[in-house]
Amino acid sequence: MTIETEVSNRASYKDRYRDEDDGLRFQDLEFVGNFTGLPPLKDGILGDKVQKERATTKVLERVTNEDALKDQFTVPELNDLNNYLAWNVWDVLVMRATEGVSGMIPRQEYEILAFMHQFYRWPEFLRMTTDEVGAQGVMDIGAQSRREIGTKVNGVHDWSIGAVGFGMGRCGLLALDAIKPNDYVEESNEILKFMQRVLVGKRQDGYMLNSQDRYRAQIHDKDFLQTIIDQIEPLEEGSPKHDQFTRFNAAAELLAFLDHFDCRLGLGDTGPYELPNGNIVIIRDLFVNEEEYHWSDVCGDAGLPHVYTLAIEIDPNAMGLQEIRVNDISTTFTRPKNYIPAIVGGAVFAREKWDTPMANIQTIKISDLPEQLGKVQQATLKLYTKMSKMSKRELIWAGHDVYYQGMILPHLRRAGTWDKAVQDLQLKEVDQRIANYYYDIQKRGFAQETVPQKIFSGSGYLPFGADADIRNSKASWLF
Amino acid sequence: MTVLAEGFNAFETKKSPEGTVKYLGSPQDVIKLLSSGKLADHILLVRGGTTTFLSPALSMGAIGIITMSGAPESHLGILSREFQTPCVMTAHLTSSDSRYIVGDADESHFEEMAAQLEGKKVRLDVTDSEVGRVVLVD
């Protein structure tokens, strides 16, 4: 279905995919990072272009599978990745970072604890997993998502491995003066290699990140995607079905945020996929019941599946779409901002467990969504009530678990190494260094001011120095 | 038309909800409002731009929101768009020079906002793509 539109309102978003186009600016802010003395970077396509021009290696260009399978980056490649991820984090999160206190969940505190914990401990888990399945096996973990919906091996989780575990984790530890720029080079390589392999294996166009491809996440194989698109029901704005679909989308998305302690690990968009009629489709996973988290019992009790997946068909001409970004934390932003009235079709699916085979995915008719909505609302209220009774300490450590455990859970689960990491390597324990930092980060505004300033100005992502050795861990604890 | 406050517009819409401003300072305030059955009478005023704090209110049909921090890219901005609930973010009083500064927010800024807006009958004007306005209803 397509909404009739005036000529003046026609979509121009495809202009963004022309080589010479620099994209729109979504914000007025600028990024400096390690590029002091050079013109600041902008957001969006232009920022990506300039980063590629300033890179000293080819690691930000399209790479081959053979490149991804190599055991090591060079130190200059690590520095290019460090700079790019610093900008990318700023690009997707700087405006979100204005949101201030939660009033519910001490997110800044749990985030910084988790970042640092990830940097210290993930290398061991990721190395063990690579040893178990091989470098090609890690790429295959990513590739499997091309033929699945409702999987957390998705953009935001894959991105988190490098951008959060390496980028922000190292940034936080440098700010705390716990490490020096040339420490943990080998571990940094381990984290970034894992991220590169998963993403290159998934995208199969040589890029890792959506921002490198003008914010497109078109990962699904065509024949697989068609089986999803075939289920789309037409929707007319203002009709009861349109309302049922959009209300369900919003309510399930909200619960997905809540079940993941107000972070985006609960949602994942891919697309935009263009249809023959000129409309575009976003495939959206909403993880409303992560059984790995004990508080999610209320979601299970409400009868919710692990994940709902929505296929959202948008008429770009109806909204005069100028740019659409599916960014690297799997969130869709458009200009104009409001795409909801331009939704002209939708389909909803349910995946009962994280490993439910694709053949057993349930299709939910839109007319049946009110029943599902009631379950979602019930779980939301119960989960909210439960969280409102948790102490600050409980909230911080629970949120920490969502990041520290949850960001690599999907990859290790798919690799079959999760249980080994938990049992043999004590993944769910808290490292003594991190336990001690619990108090440090709550002093002198470290979590709420110092680290956000380092992260979002880009000034905290110090490069590896000229003397850095790719084999280096941390040789000394001196001054 | 008296504009009491302005801020980022989370998304553009012709919806223009009216209600009495209700400041919500704690999760218990949110639960209490829901229990009262009067959610639809109020424009909700909150400090943060995060989602979880207002979760049940959004889910149960909040008609309009004013935040004292955050942006359309914040979680609450995203969710208000999905719910089509008009939302003015990082609002500031037009009668005051006080502004929200990330990482350096003065407590008095929030207190002044709450004191000036609480209990006022207002309408949200969110037709502009960038600026959302809180308009006094006479």
Amino acid type, B51: T
Whole-number Å distance between alpha carbons of A336 and B28: 36
Given a contact cutoff of 8 angstroms between Cβ atoms, the answer to whether A352 and A360 are in contact is yes
What is the pLDDT at residue A8?
A: 53
Q: What pLDDT band is residue B6 in, cutting at 50, 70 and 90?
A: very high
- pLDDT reading at B71 higher than 90: no
Best mutation target, A107, A242, A249, A254, to test chain B (most B CBs within 10 A): A254
Q: Does A381 touch chain B (CB under 8 A)?
A: yes
Q: What is the CATH number of the domain that holds B77?
A: 3.50.30.10
Q: What range defines the domain where residue B75 resides?
A: 3-136
| CA–CA min distance B91, chain A (Å) | 12
Q: Compute the average pLDDT of residues A59-68.
A: 98
Best mutation target, B54, B82, B110, to test chain A (most A CBs within 10 A): B82
- pLDDT reading at A423 higher than 90: yes
Q: What is the per-residue DSSP string for A18-65?
A: STT-----S-S--B-TT-TTSPPB-SHHHHHHHHHHH-SSSTTS---H
Q: Pairing state of beta strands A362-364 and A280-286?
A: unpaired
Q: Do B52 and A376 make contact, defined as CB atoms within 8 angstroms?
A: no
3-state DSSP: chain B helix, strand, coil percent, rounded to 5? 30, 30, 40
Query: In which element (H, E) is residue B116 found?
Result: helix B107-117
Phi first, then psi, for residue A470 (nearest 5°) are -60, -20
Contacts of A246 in chain B (CB under 8 A): 82, 84
Q: What pLDDT band is residue A444 in, cutting at 50, 70 and 90?
A: confident
Q: Do A250 and B58 make contact, defined as CB atoms within 8 angstroms?
A: yes
Q: Compute the average pLDDT of residues B43-55.
A: 86
Contacts of A249 in chain B (CB under 8 A): 82
What is the pLDDT at residue A5?
A: 47
Q: What is the per-residue DSSP string for A66-77?
A: HHHHSS---HHH
Structure tokens at B52: 């979880």
Q: What pLDDT band is residue A7 in, cutting at 50, 70 and 90?
A: very low
Q: Which of A210, A233, A208 is nearest to A1 (CA)?
A: A233
Q: Does B103 touch chain A (CB under 8 A)?
A: yes
Best mutation target, A91, A98, A327, to test chain B (most B CBs within 10 A): A98
What is the pLDDT at residue B48?
A: 80
- In A, residues 400-439, which contact B (CB 8 Å cutoff)? none
What is the pLDDT at residue B75?
A: 86
Q: Compute the average pLDDT of residues A347-351.
A: 98
- pLDDT reading at A205 higher than 90: yes
The total of structural domains in chain B comes to: 1
Give the mean pLDDT of chain A: 94
Structure tokens at A276: 């023959």
Q: Compute the average pLDDT of residues A184-207.
A: 98
Q: Do B79 and A257 make contact, defined as CB atoms within 8 angstroms?
A: yes
Whole-number Å distance between alpha carbons of A263 and A464: 30
Q: Which residues contact A165 (CB under 8 A, 6 or more apart)?
A: A115, A118, A119, A122, A191, A407, A408
For A390, the closest chain B residue by CA position comes to B27
- CA distances (Å), origin B118, targets B1, B38, B45, B126: 19, 16, 8, 20
What is the pLDDT at residue A218?
A: 98
Query: In which element (H, E) is residue A351 found?
Result: strand A343-351
Best mutation target, A93, A99, A255, A319, to test chain B (most B CBs within 10 A): A99
Q: Out of A258, A331, A333, whose CB is closest to B55?
A: A258
| CA–CA min distance B37, chain A (Å) | 15
Contacts of B71 in chain A (CB under 8 A): 95-96, 98-99
- pLDDT reading at B45 higher than 50: yes
What residue has token string 């390496």? A166
Contacts of A258 in chain B (CB under 8 A): 51-52, 55
Whole-model pTM: value is: 0.94
Q: Out of B12, B75, B103, whose CB is closest to A453?
A: B103
- pLDDT reading at A198 higher than 50: yes
| CA–CA min distance A448, chain B (Å) | 7
| CA–CA min distance B33, chain A (Å) | 13
Contacts of A107 in chain B (CB under 8 A): 50
- In A, residues 325-344, which contact B (CB 8 Å cutoff)? 331, 333, 336-338, 340
Buried b (16+ CB within 10 A) or exposed e, A444-454: eebbbebbbbb
Best mutation target, A9, A27, A96, to test chain B (most B CBs within 10 A): A96
For A386, the closest chain B residue by CA position comes to B27
Q: Does A251 touch chain B (CB under 8 A)?
A: yes
For B51, the closest chain A residue by CA position comes to A262
What is the pLDDT at residue A103?
A: 73
Q: Which residues contact B10 (CB under 8 A, 6 or more apart)?
A: A337, B72, B76, B77, B80, B81, B86, B87, B88, B89, B126, B132
| CA–CA min distance B51, chain A (Å) | 6
Q: Sign of the CA dihedral A43, A139, A125, A402?
A: positive
What residue has token string 């993403």? A199
Angle among Cα A126, A155, A80 to the nearest 5 degrees reads 70
Give per-residue pLDDT as tens, A11-43: 999 999 999 999 999 988 999 999 999 999 999
Best mutation target, B14, B50, B65, B129, to test chain A (most A CBs within 10 A): B50
- In B, residues 29-88, which contact A (CB 8 Å cutoff)? 30-31, 34, 46-53, 55-56, 58-60, 67-76, 78-79, 81-84
Which span out of A103-107, A287-291, B30-34 was modeled with the highest average pLDDT? A287-291
What is the pLDDT at residue B72?
A: 86
Q: Compute the average pLDDT of residues A212-222.
A: 98
The DSSP 8-state label assigned to residue B89 in this structure reads E
Q: Compute the average pLDDT of residues A225-232.
A: 98
| CA–CA min distance B2, chain A (Å) | 26
Q: Do B79 and A449 make contact, defined as CB atoms within 8 angstroms?
A: no
CB pairs under 8 A between A and B: 148
Boundaries of every domain in chain A: 29-213+390-457, 222-388
Query: In which element (H, E) is residue B136 found?
Result: strand B131-136
Whole-number Å distance between alpha carbons of B9 and B134: 11
Q: Which of A189, A197, A210 is nearest to A122 (CA)?
A: A189
| CA–CA min distance B136, chain A (Å) | 25
For B85, the closest chain A residue by CA position comes to A250
Q: Which residues contact A226 (CB under 8 A, 6 or more apart)?
A: none
Q: Which of A232, A314, A321, A213 is nearest to A273 (CA)?
A: A314
What is the pLDDT at residue A479?
A: 73
Buried b (16+ CB within 10 A) or exposed e, A216-252: bbbbbeeeebeebbebbbebeeeeebbebbbbbbbbb
What is the pLDDT at residue A114?
A: 97
- pLDDT reading at A427 higher than 90: yes
